[in-house]
Amino acid sequence: MSVAAAADRLRSAHRLCVLTGSGISAESGIPTFRGAQTGLWENFNPHQLATPEAFERDPRLVWRWYEWRRELIAGAQPNAGHHALVEIARRIPAMMLVTQNVDGLHQRAGSHGVIEFHGNIMRDRCTREGIAAERSPANKEELPRCARCGALLRPDVVWFGEAIAPDALQGADAAAANCDVFMSVGTSSQVYPAAGLSEIARQRGAAIIEVNVEASDMSAGSDWQLLGPAGEVLPALASAL
Ligand code: OAD
């Protein structure tokens, strides 16, 4: 389906809600969740690492995976897709950006008010206090510990089986319920509750645009399916506005 037709609808949008997934960061060199793992980690499935049970069983292994991902992300740059969303936000009266990504690349591209649905990988959280925490400088070789209370730290992300932070959930639900156009970018739409946001929007009468390199679980409910890499489709959409 053509970018021009979707741009026509977008041009008259009053409130746009955009949901992004790991596909938008693929062109920045960050592997998607359900794509193949790379190098060191190709024998591990993210489902075996991103869980509270995995952390309880082997916190060192889980921390090694997160440290590897942090390094990858620290060395990555936002791509044309992230930048195009900043441009699109300038041209629509109101846009809310909800991301399942924990990489912070939208903010580094200049997006404001981003709802981080699954947290942020660069932050540490205290396992005892449940809030963002600084690392104790004492034990460099050991697992990271909280500077305040000494408890083990974990990455400040949502793991499988865990609840979404209430403010992120409420903000995203409201953005989906109140938009007149909903755009999903680079997500397989397999993980709930994020995958349910397009349905909330659709039931409230919003038009649905999907940007993905292939069909996904939400394609059947989309009004416009734009097949192609986000780093090409989103800039084309932005310049057609
Ligand atoms: P997935 O790996 O499930 O899906 C990535 C999607 O991006 C797929 O549909 C790809 O076809 C698409 N894709 C790949 N490259 C693309 C490109 N260049 N342009 C556009 N689309 C592209 O990742 P997510 O849907 O983000 O949650 O996964 C959702 C959640 O599952 C993640 O946030 C994570 C994971 O478990 C938690 O960790 C809680």
Tens digit of pLDDT for each residue in 133-191? 999 887 666 899 999 999 999 999 999 999 999 999 999 999 999 999 999 999 999 99
Q: Which domain holds residue 87?
A: 1-29+77-118+164-241
**Domain annotation covers residue 101:** yes
pTM here is 0.95
Contacts of 220 (CB under 8 A, 6+ apart): none
**Domain annotation covers residue 157:** no
Number of domains in the chain: 1
**Domain annotation covers residue 89:** yes
**Domain annotation covers residue 134:** no
Report the residue among 18, 25, 33, 185 best suited for mutation to probe ligand 1: largest number of ligand atoms under 8 A from its CB. Answer: 33
**Domain annotation covers residue 83:** yes
Work out whether the CA dihedral 147, 152, 158, 161 comes out positive or negative: negative
**Domain annotation covers residue 53:** no
**Domain annotation covers residue 202:** yes
**Domain annotation covers residue 229:** yes
**Does the beta carbon of 99 sit less than 6 angstroms from any atom of ligand 1?**
no
What's the pLDDT tens digit per position in 188-206?
A: 999 999 999 999 999 999 9
**Does the beta carbon of 26 sit less than 6 angstroms from any atom of ligand 1?**
yes
Q: What is the mean pLDDT of the chain?
A: 94
User: The domain spanning residue 224 has which CATH number?
Assistant: 3.40.50.1220
The pLDDT assigned to 139 comes to 64
What's the pLDDT tens digit per position in 24-71?
A: 999 999 989 887 666 667 778 888 899 999 999 999 999 999 999 999
For the question of residue 14 being annotated catalytic, the response is: no
What's the pLDDT tens digit per position in 81-106?
A: 999 999 999 999 999 999 999 999 99
